[in-house]
Chain A
Amino acid sequence: MRRGNFHRLLDVHGARLQRWPAAERQSAERLLAADAGARAARDEARRLEALLDRYAPSVDERVAGRILDRLARLPERRRTTAWGRWLLSWDELVPTWPGLATFATLAVLGILLGLGNIDASLLDRGEFDISGLVLDASPSIALNQ
């Protein structure tokens, strides 16, 4: 491990090597044994963490007590039925919704455009076969048959 990489890993994982991934910890220990610059960087990281430890905001017990009191009266929650849970599970498909919506919109537009191109006289003569419009690769051929 090079010293530059060690410095970055110090910033990522901190001065306590126990928190480092095992493979990187072993390389770091070897570097620390051999390199005074790496040891100086580790010592500075320790001093920074000692300063961070000084910042321990006190949390008033009464604040927690007030929250507990207020939330002792919980708002009514609608019962989730099996159907409700099934609908909630669709949340997981959220990333695919835009794609599905685009596909559905294009499909509807395609059908509407296709219907708009039908010659009304064919409908009157009963010569129109909707299956040709939907299934045939070339609907105009189906309409002219």
Chain B
Amino acid sequence: MARIAEGQELAFQLLMRRHLQRSLAIARRMSLGAADAEDVVQEAWLRVWTTAARWRPTAAFKTWLYRVLVNLCLDRRRRRTHTALDAIAEPADDSPDATASIEATETARLVAAAIAELPERQRAALVLSYYEGLSNAECATVLDATVARVEALLVRARRALRARLQAQLAR
């Protein structure tokens, strides 16, 4: 990051290559459609480039990047009045047969829909904590909240998911 702050484009390209897929996955799990996710991730990385001088070595790059990215995702979602059809990402199809594949696709769609219905910050806390494996303290930094607040968001998110996926959980 220090090299990027000095304006070294090669360092920026290397860092972006390393984190780009992950950034796109986060944007998709934040229930953005493919086009919005692409826009938001590009904007986030542009900001990394333009504001690199503001980065402090005391902050982990990942949490800094995620903070920029999650805020952009939340902004983009707020501007949407409804969840676009393509916002619910298609799951990977690696099932052994067609029936299992259909069932897996349907389950993934239901899970995606349940996540998409969560309030924005609950969804962000779940994505960062469960899917990205951030500690609750790191989540708190990304979401500009206290650890207690993050924990409350996670509790509510999981309870809501349990309620919405009751039928799938009972199988």
Contacts and interface: CB of A to CB of B under 8 A. Distances in A.
A45 B169 CA distance: 9
Given A67-B38, A72-B13, A54 B104 contact: yes
B28 A67 contact: no
A124 interface: no
Contact of B112 (A45, A47, A49, A57): A57
Interface residues of B, number: 48
Contacts of A60: 34
Contact of B108 (A10, A11, A55, A75): A55
Given A48-B158, A88-B53, A71 B16 contact: yes
A66 B158 contact: no
A59 B115 contact: no
Contact of B107 (A12, A54, A71, A74): A54
B117 to A, nearest CB: 13
A125 B161 CA distance: 83
Interface string B14-50: 0011001100110011000010011001100110011
20 contacts: A10-B158, A12-B154, A45-B158, A48-B162, A51-B107, A51-B165, A54-B107, A55-B115, A56-B92, A57-B29, A57-B90, A63-B24, A63-B38, A64-B20, A67-B42, A71-B13, A74-B9, A74-B12, A85-B53, A91-B54
